Structure 1
């Protein structure tokens, strides 16, 4: 049996501290997480790691496959101890020097006893032939009760619940052993169900998770991730950008920016962020990185900056309406959305939300989140989600909140426009040669008339950045459509209400109160205005205007084809 030279405590915290601090701009919580005490029970190590390096599964998949047949993949977050010549340490007689044991983890995170009878599922990719035997060595070394197939504590299945196990893969074996050891450390009395996905593809691991729940697991460990899912991690052109962060053990922020190219397995130092920052909202939009907010040395900021990869420069954008850090954020619909986080002069959680449009360099209000928290999950190019996070009440208290903003919950491929079709989607281009790509536009893909914009992006296997080609289309409304527009104001002051929600129920039946058509949700801009185009066939319409702290209003109207119907609301506080 070989002890894997990993620092259990460090990797156990990888889902929070390693990912947030090393993969993206760290937030304040990553610097103030409890520091595990060093164990005194570990046997002396034959080798001392000089640094830690990613395992082979801690990188995007590099298999050759046709682009049209590609399936989204994940990577693990495991790191292994390495010597000064960058070789992984193996064949040690015990844990590496400084490794943390179960007692350290329990003490650091104040974990309770218990868990007897509960089942924790560990979902990982590929096989691990010696998983049970390796787990037995770990548990025996630290004096934990045996967890075996014979005593009913341990069970291993494939992604379908059977015994057709996938082939072993060295990197994922490391991740699997790490996950099994971590579960054992956190809950020694829990039963463990190991579910092995066929490969590192999202659909395979998703099937494995379904199997874990079907087989009775109440808790499922998914120790892997995809690009763009964590705060501060920004993807652009198939590369990862790490922006700012915290100095270990302090609130001091840094401006450093680095880019990782998985195709070349290489890190590149880029132009510094204009100010030292951590906890900012950063997304890749239209061939550039857009960042907003964050905190500098413990003080929230509201700056917006745009990074242009072709010139390696940062450009100042319009400031946010308020200072904000530790927020949840998204890059949906070609814009940056932020919600909740910390704002104001002190460490006060907010439920405010806003949106930045890089095309116009303007901010507008969004409907407030239902709950105020910070460091919540939610980064996506498929919608604005606000999941979990923490609140401060004499200490950091985790939450179980989950919500999504209507109108921003539609998922789509960030590299695909439903209204545009390419004559070719891949080609080899020799030096000095050119190629023609024809873009065919279909108006059937437009949800609304008006000016529609997009971009033709290029992914290459070269070290050079290829600028995007903008696409602009003017779409006229069909003959049977009419426009609904209006303003939402405060009835007592007459001032516009930004971020008010306007909900439409099409085909409304005045007798039954049912919607015969689709429903949609709009929001007002900074001037309290809203507008949309609808088919006259959707008459009659029920329209509801609402905003927190105001009384909502309901109206029943009809629109006329080729005309603008104005519907204003004056909400009472």
Structure 2
């Protein structure tokens, strides 16, 4: 193998630095503690631990962390070498040899990082000089530094992010010494600032942009940030993270190259001279929110949506890169470090893309390795190691694609090259009706996609001749041979699919108590397609099913905020097994509220309940009253007594232990109508601590408080827990009251909470259901976390998993009817109001378009 020109230069310097060269492999000898010239310094502690850099900490909401990890002594103190790289750190010669990188370059690679690094150019010069790389400075046009607006208003220095910046610059220099470098410093680690910096890098002409940062985990609103990273014809790379078998954003965005991590080890016994295994902490997994990109449609990832990683490179700090940063770290020291993390693999892969040549216009370069016809030769398939205990390919490296390493690591740069490309595009229709067919899988060689709602597809493919196959559930597959792709041209290939015997099943899902249409998900056992979702207002749905087949339908409400602590969604399960013939049919479902949970929207107990949360101090509320001595029932627990039921501190407390005066006090409920209730009860949570000279009593009245009957009594014994008292005399009475009486002197106390009077039957309450979506007026994207309210009722906008509703969905039940005034509010947006007619047992749809605070409608 011919040694690359740049590698020869690096090896020349390596010889002067006591490196032994064997073929194309560089074996680093343990230097005596000292610098490049061997001058003695004090011995350093061995590097045996991995320690996150200062910027690699859990970020606040809406912000990112860096993914750099430093190799440190066992005490996890980030300790640099003063005058030379750690002896175990890799250098440019190692990176170039391990990945067989060419010496040609010249393209501009952009690095996006948060905060400032005023020493970035000087530190880069130190690194490149040590390894005998050509100078890269502002003066010679190789190095450019701008703020997120393209100017010179740089943010203040941050030592943690400065070490990240140094790693990124040194990694690009190692993989592509002749590349120009653009550093774009974002004002902060907030995603809007970092995303703006990405946009600015592209606007300034960079075709290769590295992002070595991300979230600790996915967020429901992440797709609203995708526009920052969606730059067709530009390589946008993002690190997959450092927490093992966990996805992070923006790497999980379906428009970026997700850079996974490996451990790179010298191995003179192999032809390559190196071996690689999955890094144990590299990120991987399935997205909850990002759609599966076309380039993964023909790859078995085990994920219904986007999967990470795509490709990988060295990331394990044990095989970390030598990195120089002069900004003092937390201990006040600076110098040479050994740094890894997927913060290393991201700039390495970005620079390798730069060596492969310009991306094809309008393409997403993450697709290139997936469609490389010589992938077996152009990629090193990493088959050992794991980053978690999931037990499958999402955390275990193996042949072909796997989560930790994606398709593998570059062997040269051919897998990252676009090659000349063209398009195969067209429309798939039903041969009988002529109507478009959605979600048809269209495959041309190693390329694939699915049709949209109008049956259209568009495949970008390398120049060549292909057989195009279209296949869809309940249709006969069809092929077109000899489809030629010409550079820069589009070959229009329309295909009509012949339907197999089938039935179109339509129906409606309703709430059995209110009769309104329900937003629901229908999963069909035996149907290979995605779940079917009903219309949120009408409850209607439609699905095409192959005939002469038996299916089982599982109907699940899409009202996520009704989940109680046990995961109950408020409704009883609705499952049905049915057989489809060859004629259209109707299947309707009426979902019943779960009477035990009684948490479905628009349902409540027939009994009257009280949890005292609206009470304050000595003042009762909700129609309740307190009588007796001055030291009576209170609702602020002045003695800090144990709460009844172990719940919140808002309960009713009568306490003789906080006063020397005798206490004789009663707490009386308002009138409760128990008409139609043949066996009513009183239940409550009690924390009664008995003592001599103290007693507790409950009385009931069926005539609005004129006469009373004792129904429960407690003396010197404790009564702690849930109490249930039958009220047979109150059956069918319209004016029932209960009274809690406490008497004591310098004794203990009685705490009462969660009172329920009557029969706890779950019934539909009068009122209306309001549903809709909340969107950003400027971008049209969903706004999650917005609060929509009418009166005391409110709902929170969120994602649902429904591909036709990207997010921002909310619902609320309100007992109010007639003209209702609704309000929508969200952080960073101007509050909006609307008036709509609310009708009992009907659904009102109210959509919102919120204006960013300070913006124009």
Superposition TM-score, scaled by structure 2 size: 0.29
TM-score, reference length from structure 1: 0.42
Greater RCO (Cα-Cα under 8 Å, separation 6 or more): 1
